[in-house]
Amino acid sequence: MQSQPINFQPPTEEAAPILLPVTATLFADRADRFAVLADGHSLGDWLAFLGQLSRAQHQAMKALPVLALPDAATLDQARTHGMPPLNMTVRPPVWRDVLRQIARELGNDAPDGARKSLDALLAADDVWLEKLADTLLSGELEAGDAAELPFVAAALQVVFTQLASQLDASHLQKLDAHGVCPCCGSPAVASIVRLGATINNLRYLHCSLCNTEWNVPRATCTSCDTDKEVALHEVEGSNGQKSGAVRAETCDACKSYLKIVYQEKDPRVDPVADDLATLALDMLVDEAGYERSGPNLLLIGAYSG
Ligand SMILES: [Zn+2]
Ligand SMILES: [Zn+2]
């Protein structure tokens, strides 16, 4: 395991604090990225299937109507109290239709294990589907439902990404807790260091549910908010990624970590896909005593070893 201090470079211009998801391209780009990462990878079949899942998310997103946002009073109240405007526990019922569409879209191309889960989901009643969604979003997982959860997550990601994209970015604010999404309150899946005119070399956290990104200074732990630079390191696997585009950012103050991906190393990096293509890095950092601070919802139950 190699580690090195972070090279802190402050922004030179005012950068957007929050980047809302771009629904037209987000899941299609992720599907392409999974396909690239699957090529020659030891988990290539699984990554390729997740590419198909992302493609199905893209198709479902295209078919999704504009959704009802919380009313103005609720949005104002959330803002006044420093709460996210979207409530994870209040789900538009259309998410269940999205789930069924994704399950049908994947069709017979799915591997046997996944096919079984998809069939179970297509046959499921609304009560069970809502229970699965509650299980997933509460983070309190029950082993028996584990195989279905990545698909439930995929459907919820589509709906919450759509909702987040409909919010007015100028009315959003970052929350006190750095690691929590300012739109929906979910934990971040990973960070991305972006390229671009006013956001060059800035670190954004990427929401595990709604794909919103928010800027957090690189000199800050996203889990415990410490700004002791000495406690933060970027760890690269010794035989890690070809391009060095993915690292783990560890904090010695709270012993947590989260991956960080670099567009500078590869402009196509995706916080969700590249995270799942670097599970060896998770093992390395786990062994060194760090605990991951945010989930990848496509992994829960899918790869329990
Ligand atoms: Zn979110
Ligand atoms: Zn920390």
Specify the CATH number for the domain of residue 145: 3.90.1670.10
pLDDT in tens, 98-146: 999 999 999 878 898 899 999 999 999 999 999 999 989 887 766 666 7
80 and 148 housed in the same domain:
yes
Q: Which ligand is nearest to the CA of 205?
A: 1
Q: Are 280 and 37 in contact (CB under 8 A)?
A: no
198 and 241 housed in the same domain:
yes
Residue with tokens 């585009």: 245
Residue 298 lies in a domain: no
State the total domains in the chain.
2
Residue 303 lies in a domain: no
Adjacent-strand bridge partners of 260: 191, 247
pLDDT tier for residue 230 given thresholds of 50, 70 and 90 = very low
Helix (H) or strand (E) holding 251: strand 246-251
* Residues less than 5 Å from ion ligand 1, measured at CB: 181, 183-184, 186, 207, 209-210, 212
pLDDT in tens, 180-199: 999 999 999 999 999 877 77
Adjacent-strand bridge partners of 248: 235, 259
13 and 31 housed in the same domain:
no
Residue 231 clears pLDDT 90, i.e. is over it: no
> What's the gap in Å between 21 CA and the centre of ligand 1?
10
Residue 305 lies in a domain: no
- This prediction has a pTM of 0.91
User: In which domain, by residue range, is 251 found?
Assistant: 2-17+174-292
Residue 184 lies in a domain: yes
> What's the gap in Å between 185 CA and the centre of ligand 1?
6
> What's the gap in Å between 205 CA and the centre of ligand 1?
10
166 and 28 housed in the same domain:
yes
pLDDT for 4: 56
> What's the gap in Å between 237 CA and the centre of ligand 2?
20
233 and 193 housed in the same domain:
yes
Q: Which ligand is nearest to the CA of 21?
A: 1
Domain boundary pick from 156, 171, 186: 171
Distance from C-alpha of 5 to C-alpha of 249, rounded to nearest angstrom: 10
Q: Which ligand is nearest to the CA of 87?
A: 1
* Rg, Å, the chain Cα set: 19
